Amino acid sequence: MINDKLPKIWYGGDYNPEQWDSEVWSEDERMFKLAGIDVATINVFSWALIQPDEVTYDFSALDETMDRLYKSGVYVCLATSTGAHPAWMAKKYPDVTRVDVQGRKRTFGGRHNSCPNSPTYLKYSAKLAGKLAERYKDHPGLLIWHVSNEYGGYCYCDNCAKAFRVWLKQRYGTLDNLNRAWNTRFWGHTFYDWDEVVVPNELSEEWNGNRTNFQGISIDYRRFQSYSLLEAYKLEYEELKKHTPDIPVTTNLMGFYPELDYFEWAKYMDVVSWDNYPSLDTPVSRTAMAHDLMRGLKSGQPFMLMEQTPSQQNWQAYNSLKRPGVMRLWSYQAVARGADTVMFFQLRRSIGACEKYHGAVIEHVGHEHTRVFRECAELGRELVGLSDKLLDARTEAKVAIVYDWENRWATDLSSGPSVALNYENEAHKYYDALFKLHIEIDMISVEEDLSKYDIVIAPVMYMVKPGFAQKVEQFVSAGGTFVTTFFSGIVNENDLVTVGGYPGELRSVLGIWAEEIDALFPDQKNQMVMKAPWGKLQGQFECGLLCDLIHSEGAEVLAEYGSDFYKGMPVLTVNKFGKGHAYYVASSPEASFLEGFLSNLCEEQGVKPLMAAPEGVEVTRRVKNGMSYLFLLNHNADPATVEINSEKTDILTGKIVSGSLTVPGRGVSILEEAF
C-alpha cells in the first residue's frame, strides 16, 4: 500500500487554490465531498510564491491549504514546486535557465525550464525540498511527496558541457576508451583533451531533432541528461527522506516519454506515478501498453495514475471530449493494469494561460451540474465502495515484452537503414496482438529476471547490452520461448556494431545469420509465405519496413519471403536451443500474422488467454491474497456479451455472475473469484 493513511484507491488530483480567491475554497471543499475526492496534489508550481526572493520563505498560504484540506477530509500529495523556477531567479542567476538544442540561451518562461547542472537550481531546489519536509513532516494530511513535475527536456549550456566531461571521465576513464567507444577516427574526431569534447547539438553534431553524426556521442548525451535530471531529483529525494523517511516519494512520469530512461529513474522512486493523456484516436492497447510499462518500471509494483483529464485535453490538435463513460472506463483500465490511484489534472479548471482549456472536475461554470462532474462523482462513490480490495494486487503475466530506452535512442538516432523504423511502434505491434488475444503481458527492462516468464519478446533488440545475450540463452536453455525481430543484435551499448555477422551476440541462440537488411519504401511490400500450416498460421502474410536477408545456421525455417530477389529466403525461423525455442521474425508483419504467431507460441507454452471476448473488450487481471480480479473493459459504444465459465462476483455491483454476461457499451465489470 502506498500509504496506509488512506487505505483505498486514492481519488483526486492537481489542485491550485493559489489561483483563486478564498471564497472559492469552501465551494471547492463542498464539491470535493460531493465527488468523493480524498487526495489533492498541491504546491506543484508555487516556488515563486513560497520564495519571493533569495532569502525569504513564506509558507503561510501552504499551511492554510494543508490544514483546510485535511479538515475537510482531503489528504495531500505534496509537490516540491521545483518544476518551474521563479522569475527573480532567472534574472539574478541566469545559469538557472537552459541553452536549447539550437544553442540558444533561454531567458525566462515556460516550465521544466531549469538546467539540471545549474549550481543555483541545485542549491535552491534542494533547499526548498528540505524546508518543505521539515515543516510538514508531522502534518497528518501529508500522504506522499511529489518531486518537481514531469521532468524532461535537455540543456546544452556550459555547465552541462563541464558536467558532461566529468561524467565521461567516470564512464570511460581514459580518452583512449572514449575515442574507441565513439569511433572518433571516423571523420577525424580524435580527442586529445577532455575539454575538446563539446555538447552534441545543432552547433556541433546534431540536426532535425534525431539526426546525428555520432550516435555514440548523442546516445551518451541522452544518458547524461537523463542522469543529470535524475541527480537533481535525487537531491530533493534525499532532503525529503532526511525528515520524512516513511513518507513515499514519487515524481510523475509520462509513459513512453523518450528523453528519460525511466527504468533508471524508477530505482530511486518509492512508487511510480504517471500522467496518462490518450487522444480519441489512440488505440486502447497503446494506453494499456503504457500502463504495463509503468507497472514494469518497478517489476510489477502497483503505480499511481497521477494525472488524466476528466474529459478534454488542450495540447492535442483536436481536443475531443471524452465520450460518456469513457473517463470511468479508462480509469478502470489504469486500475486493471496496476494503478492504485485515480487522479486528475485538475480539480478546478484554471482561467488563464495555456491550460485553461484542459478539462477539470470542476469546470469553468463552477457548479456540480455538469456531465463531467456527475461522471466524476459517480466514479468517486464507486471507488469508496471498492475500499482496499484491489490495493497492492499484482499481475501474473507469463509473457513479457522487453522495452529499453537506450535501444530506443539508438534506433531513433540511427542513420539508415530506414527513417520509418519506430521502435515503440514495433513493440506495440506485438503488444497489440497479445492484447487482442487477452493474454497478460509484462513490459520489462533488459535487466529484468526472465526466468519468471514462459515467453519473452524483444522486438527490434538492436542494442544488446552486456550480459543480455547470456541471459536470453539461459532463459531459452531452460525451456523459455524467445522472440526477436529484424535489426536485432546489431550493436553493443556504445552503438558499435558487433562484427562477425548479425544478429551478433544473439546469433547463437537464434541459429541464423542475417547477411543483409533491405529497407522498403512505404508502398513496397513483401510476403511471409508459410512453408506449412502451423496452428493458426497458413498461407501468406504481408510484411514490410525492413527485410533481413537471413540464412539458417541450424534454425528451422517456418516461412520464406514471397517476392523480390530474396524470395525463398527465410523470413520466420525457430531455433531449438536447450529446452526452449528462439524465434526470429525477419521483417515487420501485418497484424493478422502476429495474432496467429503469438497465439501459436502461447499455445505451445501453455499460456492461456484470460477468456474469450468480443473485439473491443479488454480483459486483464490482478490477483491478491488468493483472489483474482478479472477486469472486463468494453471499449465499444455498444454492449458486448461474454461467457463466464464459473461463478464470479462483480465487485462493482455485488452481483454474482455466470453464463452470459453483458457488459454495457463503455462499461466495466470486475469479477472476483478464488485464484
Binding residues: 111, 115, 149, 155, 157, 160, 315
Binding residues for substrate are 111, 149, 315
Omega within 30 of 0 (cis) for the link into 302:
no
> Regarding beta strands 399-402 and 441-444, do their DSSP bridges make them parallel or antiparallel, or are they unpaired?
parallel
Instruction: Please name the helix (run of DSSP H) or strand (run of DSSP E) that holds residue 546, with its range, or none.
Output: strand 540-552
Q: Least Å distance between CB 7 and a second copy?
A: 33
Adjacency order of strands within the sheet including 627-634: 617-624, 627-634, 668-674, 640-650, 656-663
Q: Least Å distance between CB 206 and a second copy?
A: 8
Active-site residue identified among 205, 206, 239, 307: 307
Q: Which CB atom, from 87 or from 656, has the smaller least distance to a second copy?
A: 87
Q: Which of 13, 611, 618 is nearest to 333 (CA)?
A: 618
Q: Which CB atom, from 300 or from 544, has the smaller least distance to a second copy?
A: 544
Q: Nearest 10 degrees: CA dihedral of 197, 202, 207, 212?
A: 0
Q: Which CB atom, from 201 or from 244, has the smaller least distance to a second copy?
A: 201
Q: Which CB atom, from 109 or from 140, has the smaller least distance to a second copy?
A: 109
- C-alpha span between 469 and 519 (Å, rounded): 26
Active-site residue identified among 150, 368, 424, 595: 150
Q: By the 8 A CB rule, do 400 and 448 touch?
A: yes
Is 150 annotated in the active site? yes
Rg (CA), the chain: 26
Q: Which CB atom, from 188 or from 245, has the smaller least distance to a second copy?
A: 188
Q: Least Å distance between CB 182 and a second copy?
A: 7
Q: Which of 509, 552, 506 is nearest to 531 (CA)?
A: 552
Instruction: Please name the helix (run of DSSP H) or strand (run of DSSP E) that holds residue 14, with its range, or none.
Output: strand 10-14
Q: Least Å distance between CB 190 and a second copy?
A: 4
Is 673 annotated in the active site? no
- C-alpha span between 284 and 344 (Å, rounded): 19
Tell me if residue 86 falls in helix, strand or coil. Answer: coil
Q: Which CB atom, from 538 or from 563, has the smaller least distance to a second copy?
A: 563
- C-alpha span between 635 and 616 (Å, rounded): 5
CA 187 vs CA 184, 218, 499, 529: distances in Å: 7, 16, 20, 43
Q: By the 8 A CB rule, do 553 and 452 touch?
A: no
Q: Least Å distance between CB 425 and a second copy?
A: 16
- C-alpha span between 491 and 479 (Å, rounded): 26
Q: Least Å distance between CB 544 and a second copy?
A: 10
Binding residues for Zn(2+) are 115, 155, 157, 160
Which residues are marked as active site? 150, 307
